């Protein structure tokens, strides 16, 4: 048996463990969810204006409302907020937030839509970029631009540009005029097929007042365009410029777009799928502003940090007790292989904690109490893999094979068993993750990741470690509690 690949495999695993330990030692810690660090949990019910009929696309409008809420919440720097639709209600969970009044004010405010003329673009790095609002500030700290006044507004974070001096992604800024139209003037907005390279566009239907204003504004913009000026108008939602379309070359100066109907084209240079997505998003933005949905909190709960800390301490205590009892039993019953199993569980522990901390930094993942439960359950999965391997070795030895041969044959059998079992667990965790909502997804994610880690640790650490121990004579029939050859029974008679 060539020992070099075995030693190399163990060395790589230990190097990764040390790296993970150093990463944690430098201060990396998992982000904690609502139930572990406290915060706010609320369910909001949409309320239509008095006398308004429920629109057919209410669910789509609620989805767009959720995106507006998400943009507001993201500006607060909340780690791993859970904002989702439950039927026609909106569920909001914000870990680490204690100011309930501020949250209610931010979330409950109706989205405000307006159309303003674009005076000029202010890209990042330009001398005037520091003028106007701080685009990185929380939404409730940005002063709202009055409807009857012009000023500087931030562009959408989705269209951020790179500052040439700092390499930081910053949104474009726009100097705009007073609002010419508001969401109250929009009766409908919808996606429709375009012509030529413009596969999709947004159709706009205005009321009588809006139609007159729109005709006058587009007439002026067409004249500006002919004079070589900007000739665009900004679609502003929640003080953020979502789009800046210009008037079509066919629109005549002094005439404008009449009839109360208009089309808005998406940005050029996009694929058909991107144009459709762009048009759909813009239509939803317009409909959300056209039909102002107010959100009323049907339930609003504040989870205290003390309760969250108690939940975390209880989860950690349960995990430590479980680890200690499992380790004690494994070492007592399986001796050297039990020691390997304890190291497997320890390696798993370092990997899972470092992994959660890394996911928190990279994608904002937060560990919840359900996730802690998934980790504790996974301790049993890792220990179970070690027990299956040890029992297979003992079975092979009892069949008369040498310890070295028994380890090789036992791993082949145990690996197939663990691969099958973990594959089923991973499949179940994947289905649960995509079908569940809220904390249950955290449980499913931890269960799935732990099952993958179990397979990797078994193959790249437990297997070579057992091979090397058997090769050096550390593993013996006695340490495996196997039946001695002279104690076997054949045909009912002691041999």
The pLDDT tens digits for 197-219 are 666 777 778 888 888 888 888 88
Question: pLDDT under 70 in the chain at which residues?
Answer: 1-2, 49-52, 71-72, 74-80, 98, 102, 105-112, 139-141, 158, 163-165, 194-199, 264-270, 284-294, 304-309, 311-312, 315, 319, 437-439, 479-495
The neighbouring-strand residues paired with 241 are 155, 236
What domains can you pick out in the chain, each with its CATH number? 4-33+303-494 (1.20.1640.10), 39-107 (3.30.70.3220), 111-291 (3.30.1360.200)
Helix 305-363 crosses helix 369-398 at what angle (to 10 degrees)?
Answer: 70
What is the pLDDT, as a whole number, of residue 15? 94
Return the closest-CA partner of residue 241 out of 99, 343, 132. 132
The beta strands (E) that lie in 30-185 are given as 31-32, 39-47, 82-86, 89-95, 113-122, 151-155, 161-162, 169-170, 173-182
Work out the angle at residue 350's Cα, subtended by the Cα atoms of residues 12 and 367, and round it to the nearest 5 degrees: 135
* 413 within 8 A of 4, measured Cβ to Cβ: no
What is the pLDDT, as a whole number, of residue 18? 93
The DSSP result for 8-36, as a single string, is HHHHHHHHHHHHHHHHHHTT--PEE-HHH
How far is C-alpha 131 from the geometric centre of its chain's CA atoms? 33
The DSSP result for 206-230, as a single string, is E-HHHHHHHHHHHHHHHHHHHTTS-
What is the pLDDT, as a whole number, of residue 196? 63
Alpha helices in 109-207 (DSSP H): none
Across 335-366, b (16+ Cβ under 10 Å) vs e yields: bbbbbbbbbbbebbbbbbbbbbbebbeeeebb
Pairing of β 31-32 and β 39-47: unpaired
Q: Enter the pTM of the model.
A: 0.56
What is the pLDDT, as a whole number, of residue 269? 56
**Residue 420 token pair:** 């099958």
| Rounded-to-10 torsion of CA 255, 259, 260, 261 | -100
> With 0-12 CB in 10 A as exposed, 13-18 as middle and 19+ as buried, what is 114?
buried
How far is C-alpha 6 from the geometric centre of its chain's CA atoms? 37
């Amino acid at each position: 048996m060539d020992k070099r690949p075995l030693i190399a495999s163990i060395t790589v695993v230990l190097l990764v463990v040390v790296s993970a330990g150093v990463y944690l030692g430098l201060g990396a810690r998992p982000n904690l969810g609502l139930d572990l660090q406290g915060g706010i949990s609320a369910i909001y019910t949409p309320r239509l204006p008095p006398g308004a009929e429920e629109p057919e696309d209410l669910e789509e409008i609620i989805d767009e409302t959720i995106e507006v809420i998400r943009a507001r919440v993201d500006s607060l720097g909340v780690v791993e907020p859970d904002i989702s639709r439950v039927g026609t209600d909106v569920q909001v969970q914000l870990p680490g937030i204690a100011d309930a009044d501020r949250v209610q004010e931010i979330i409950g405010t109706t989205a405000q839509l307006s159309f303003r003329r674009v005076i000029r673009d202010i890209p990042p790095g330009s001398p005037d970029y520091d003028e106007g609002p701080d685009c990185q500030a929380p939404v409730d700290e940005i002063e709202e631009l009055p409807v009857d006044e012009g000023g500087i507004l931030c562009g959408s974070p989705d269209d951020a540009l790179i500052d040439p001096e700092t390499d930081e992604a910053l949104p474009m800024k726009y100097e705009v005029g007073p609002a010419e139209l508001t969401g109250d003037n929009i009766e409908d907005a919808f996606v429709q097929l375009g012509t030529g390279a413009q596969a999709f566009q947004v159709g706009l239907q205005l009321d009588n007042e809006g139609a007159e204003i729109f005709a006058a504004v587009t007439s002026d913009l067409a004249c500006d365009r002919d004079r070589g000026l900007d000739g665009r108008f900004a679609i502003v939602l929640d003080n953020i410029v979502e789009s800046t379309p210009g008037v079509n070359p066919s629109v005549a100066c002094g005439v404008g777009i009449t009839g109360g109907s208009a089309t808005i084209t998406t940005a050029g240079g996009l694929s058909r799928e991107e144009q459709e997505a762009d048009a759909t998003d813009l239509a939803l933005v317009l409909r959300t502003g056209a039909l102002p949905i107010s959100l009323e909190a049907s339930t609003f709960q504040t989870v205290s940090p003390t309760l969250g800390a108690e939940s975390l301490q209880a989860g950690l205590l349960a995990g430590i007790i479980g680890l200690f009892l499992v380790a004690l039993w494994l070492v007592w019953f399986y001796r050297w292989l039990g020691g390997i199993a304890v190291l497997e569980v320890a390696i798993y522990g370092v990997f899972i904690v470092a992994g959660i901390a890394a996911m928190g930094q990279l994608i904002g993942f937060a560990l919840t109490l359900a996730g802690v439960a998934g980790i504790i359950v996974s301790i049993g999965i890792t220990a179970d893999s070690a027990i299956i391997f040890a029992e297979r070795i003992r079975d092979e030895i009892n069949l008369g094979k040498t310890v070295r041969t028994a380890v090789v044959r036992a791993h082949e059998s145990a690996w197939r068993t663990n691969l099958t079992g973990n594959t089923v667990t991973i499949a179940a965790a994947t289905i649960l993750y995509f079908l569940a909502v809220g904390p249950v997804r955290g449980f499913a994610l931890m269960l799935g990741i732990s099952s993958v880690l179990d397979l990797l640790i078994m193959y790249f650490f437990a297997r070579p470690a057992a091979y090397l121990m058997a090769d050096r004579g550390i593993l013996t029939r006695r340490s495996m509690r196997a039946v001695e050859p002279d104690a076997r029974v054949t045909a009912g008679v002691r041999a």
